[in-house]
Structure 1
Amino acid sequence: MQQTNATILVVDDEERIRRLLRMYLERENYTIEEAANGEDALEMALSHDYDLIILDLMLPGIDGIEVCTKLRETKATPVIMLTAKGEEANRVQGFEVGTDDYIVKPFSPREVVLRVKALLRRASSTKFLETETSAKNVIVYPHLTIDHDAHRVTVDDQEVSLTPKEYELLYFLANSPDKVFTREDLLREVWNYEFFGDLRTVDTHVKRLREKLNRVSDRAAHMIVTVWGVGYKFEVVND
């Protein structure tokens, strides 16, 4: 089910890039707003509920990393980081501050559209679910409850705020306890990549997810288990 009425904020200091992305995304019936610097981007992102933000890393004023860091203090808006820097350290830094996806310039506009569609589909899946069923879709484990209809995660009765990708990763793993998934499996199933993605994406999201769960309960954080040389699994922790 394709979402075609989403509003996307495109942030880049190069007008030609904003114009290119606007052209391709408007063809998909998305509504596009633009910002040319970090200050404007942050103000717009905090004052409006965008469905997705495409955010350049290198911006005049405050950069994309700082924008994403401040955004994540209050909002879980999906973010695709766009940058000319392709080094691993930059990718990891972007994911560690809460970026959901990462695209390196020069890029294919069609690839950007595919990733936007995949991320919006994941972020909006529970909205469709809520309209299609009245049944409660809840996963309950010791110390951890996932209410999929409400898109809510609670740890020891305390709600934990997750980005869309962090939530989808947790929900996917928790749906198949004790089953081991490779990083490639998770990129395909959670990120919906039909093309090669950076395997480090999975590692950095697992790290952030564990950190958020651990702030409330180390037992909940330890449910996400690393299977060395293979990938990850969800393991129920018994008291």
Structure 2
Amino acid sequence: MKRADQVLIVDDDGEIRQLLSVYLEGAGYQAHVAAGGEQMWQVLASTPVDLIILDLMLPGEDGLELCRQLRARRDIPVIMLTARGTLVDRIVGLEVGADDYLPKPFDPRELLARIKVIIRRARSFPEKHEADRIATIHFNGWQLDTRARQMRSPQGVTLSLGSSDYLVLRALLDHPQRTLSRDFLLATVFGKESLPFDRAIDVCISRLRQQLGDNPRIPNLIRTIRNGGYLLNADVAYQA
């Protein structure tokens, strides 16, 4: 019999821990709970956790610090929860390694949908020790050579990429079928917060669409998500 996916809920609010654990177990998951970092590490020492739901506002070491520590030690997907839903919080949470971000209050059905997607994505992605050896990424008939930073079209034509265009494309390929905000891409690629009229990411997206033959008026491969950002609409495969 296939084991149930193991989800660890780290939140100092006992009511939230109880409600989420009951809801997730009703959906077929095995739920574990922790009130803070110390209990989280105790659970991880004895349980093969598949995903962590991590509250940002924890006493002692907060969720951001715990997420940094997790990324240094483990390769477990993290969904960050917080009552602070500001743009800066979302960007910082994603930058320290969270796979997704959900502000409180939230609909448990939305959280469940995100858990399913992230666990499925994590299992399709190479293990961390293999990631640095990825030489080629395949998507929509294209091949990206990560060492030469060149793309090869389905017709066999090789195209070179500028540094910023490559980094934007790589971010999209690392998070397929997921909306990435302009602010997150700007911080990831250029290491800065966005300004009201900063169109650097939009320019990169425009160049990528042109090279990939993605109709800029009705793009299908790199989609514009209204009030969200950009999404890579393709299955992705990795080759060492």
TM-score, L = length of structure 1: 0.60
2:126 pairs with 1:152: no
Whether 2:166 is the aligned partner of 1:192: answer no
Map of 1:72-111 to 2, 5 A cutoff?
Answer: 72-111=71-110
Give the conservation status (yes or no) of the 8 Å contact 1:95–1:205. no
Q: CA deviation at 1:154?
A: 3.3
Show CA shifts across 1:5-39 (max 9, x none).
21010011112211222222112211100001122
Match of 2:231 in 1: none
Q: For structure 1, which runs of at least 5 residues remain unmatched after alignment? A: 127-147, 156-166, 209-225
Equivalence map 1:116-195=2 (5 Å): 116-125=115-124, 152-154=130-132, 171=137, 175-176=143-144, 177=151, 190-193=175-178
Highest CA radius of gyration, 1 or 2? 2
| Distance (whole Å) between structure 2 residues aligned to residue 207 and residue 171 of structure 1 | 22
User: How far apart in 1 are the matches of 2:131 and 2:173?
Assistant: 23
Aligned equivalent of 2:68: 69
> 2:131 & 2:32 partners in 1: Cα distance?
31
Name the SS for the 1:119 alignment partner: helix
Deviations 1:114-173 (A, max 9, x none): 1000001101125xxxxxxxxxxxxxxxxxxxxx59982335xxxxxxxxxxx9xx9467
Kindly provide the amino acid, as one letter, of the partner of residue 41 in structure 2.
L
Aligned residues: 178
> Residues 193-212 of structure 1: matches in 2 within 5 Å?
193=178, 198-204=181-187
Cα distance in 2 for residues equivalent to 1:150 and 1:99: 15
Which SS does the other structure have where 2:79 is aligned?
Answer: strand
Counterpart-to-counterpart distance in 2, 1:24 and 1:61: 27
Please name the residue that 2:220 is paired with: none
Q: Distance in 1 between matches of 2:188 and 2:23?
A: 29
1:40 is matched with 39
Percent same amino acid at aligned positions?
37
2: CA distance, partners of 1:89 / 1:62? 19
SS in 2 for 1:94: helix
The match for 1:114 is 113
Structure 2: how far apart are the matches of 1:49 and 1:97?
22
Mapped partners of 2:187, 2:22: distance in 1? 32
TM-score (norm 2): 0.60
Deviates most, 199-208 or 22-31: 199-208
Q: Distance in 1 between matches of 2:70 and 2:175?
A: 23
Aligned partners of 1:204 and 1:45: how far apart in 2? 31
| Residue of structure 2 in register with 1:53 after alignment | 52
Task: Tell me: CA distance 1:59–1:205, structure 2 relative to 1, closer, same or farther (3 Å).
Answer: same
Which residue of structure 2 aligns with residue 25 of structure 1? 24
Residue type matched to 1:152 in 2? E
